[in-house]
Structure 1
């Protein structure tokens, strides 16, 4: 929470960081915060104070928010790849193409896309008859964990869930790969070594974030599909990695690898130290 909040604060405070790339970074951090606040407080209440009761409507709402957040993360990663493609392959037209209007349209499209993808999953879960148990062996209302309690047929829910998730991952990864192949091809033509190094360094940071997000998603999905051969504790562990690790690591990676953000954080820390020193002297 601290890392993502700091990233958002630094980007919106410093006018030099008000370019599309950093705006998209702050959007990704915002989605991370929404996911964390949806999952972590209730999880901690259950672990520490044993306050682990949740109604079915609240469970479905949590599921909707979690999956919308995951889909939004994927959409933002695609737009970030598009932004880097335009910046490197069409640098003279970058300001005209990646303007505020396009970013607003892409943001609305990502929100609508997330809702359209997640709504069928939650709607089908609403139609299921639950009678086996009222205990979800999970720290969050994940679709498969909830459907394990169903007595009615869940084959339709499973098929729709797998198809939608596969479609999202395949489409998004394909767009990202095409963008970065074009970026790599264009970067190799750049004669200036410093410009080439900066382009590859920025894209390397983005690819590291993308790999982390999709790798965690893939591992979590494979473990869940393994069924009874894997214990529920292992399911929960990989779900925690999938939901929490990218949100924890992403701001650290950006803070360490992106020079402009690192410099702005140092500047803010120096200002804070000077302000505190002045305050102490006045006392």
Structure 2
């Protein structure tokens, strides 16, 4: 305890306290945390491996899936390894620069993840509303350029957050009641005026959510309008089925984020450990479910993954080609 207090007053160090109020259960909490993380890594790396190996999957839709997988891996990896170090080894120390770096990468990759979902919505819009021009409108090169735009947006919007925090003076008590350097948790440690930091963070978070959800919503309004013009019910179902995986991922990705942000900022009556658990589940559950959703809903990907699983189980059947 003495060592912790000394470190907490070190001007170059913060202490991540884990899930406050549930310290005695840290070891038990680490079990689902590590399990979800491993499943997430296996699922997302499987997508990256299969798409990279299969020439027939080198298409815009699967390039977007790879972008989504990379952002999912990055989001969970920004948080989970350090959280597990806290749970398993009580390694709670993190430098100020390390804390701000973690914050920047987590928020930037989260913004990039949202941008990828917007590009996916545009992909679905073109596939349904302009199917004959799909190959000319959405090339791999154009998808890569759109991804680069999303990355530049993320860096430009998020970079001021840690830079503004770097200018603030911090109090003697440098204990962060969290498993990672969440922006508002760090801001609360400041002894200076943090109004600008809080306002900037809120405006950027809302801007990203509102702009991206508006673009996604507009894409689906146009998609629904195009579907309603089709007379065949079978065609209706087929068109909706092509969007089902993306819709599920949107719900899984945005719902926990919005709920976590709202409860953190306006749910003063909610216990602190509930806020922290929600924030951690946001960086765990969507990243675990996304590859499962696309693996189940995308026939081409499912067949290719099944082929590699069959080869692993039957090493001598490498020449097997599914019908």
1:63 aligns with 2:103: yes
1:92-125 Cα offsets, whole Å, 9 max, x none, are 1111110123112111111110001101212111
* Larger mean Cα displacement after TM superposition, 253-262 or 45-54: 253-262
Q: 1:174 aligns with which of 206, 214, 226?
A: 214
The residue number in structure 1 matching 2:63 is 23
Query: How far apart, in 2, do the equivalents of 1:67 and 1:127 lie?
Result: 19
The residue number in structure 2 matching 1:240 is 280
Q: Aligned to 1:110, what secondary structure does the other structure show?
A: helix
Query: How far apart, in 2, do the equivalents of 1:132 and 1:235 lie?
Result: 24
1:154-179 Cα offsets, whole Å, 9 max, x none, are 11111111111111111100000010
1:211-269 Cα offsets, whole Å, 9 max, x none, are 11111111110111125422220111110121111101111111122222111111111
The residue number in structure 1 matching 2:14 is none
Contact 2:311 2:317 in 1 (8 A): no
1:81 aligns with 2:84: no
Pick 1 or 2: higher relative contact order, CA cutoff 8 A, min separation 6. Answer: 2
Superposition CA RMSD, Å:
1.6
Query: How far apart, in 1, do the equivalents of 2:267 and 2:164 lie?
Result: 21
Q: Aligned to 2:314, what secondary structure does the other structure show?
A: helix
Question: Residue 18 and residue 195 in structure 1: after superposition, are their counterparts in 2 closer, same or farther (change >3 A)?
Answer: farther
Q: Aligned to 1:152, what secondary structure does the other structure show?
A: coil
The answer for unaligned runs of 5 or more in structure 2 is: 1-40, 319-323
TM-score (norm: length of structure 2): 0.82
Aligned length: 278
Shift of 1:192: 5.2
Matched ranges for 1:201-220 at <5 A: 201-220=241-260
Q: 2:266 aligns with which of 226, 246, 259?
A: 226
Question: Residue 195 and residue 133 in structure 1: after superposition, are their counterparts in 2 closer, same or farther (change >3 A)?
Answer: same
Query: How far apart, in 1, do the equivalents of 2:99 and 2:264 lie?
Result: 19
1:155 aligns with 2:168: no
Q: 1:125 aligns with which of 161, 165, 172?
A: 165
Contact 1:132 1:151 in 2 (8 A): no
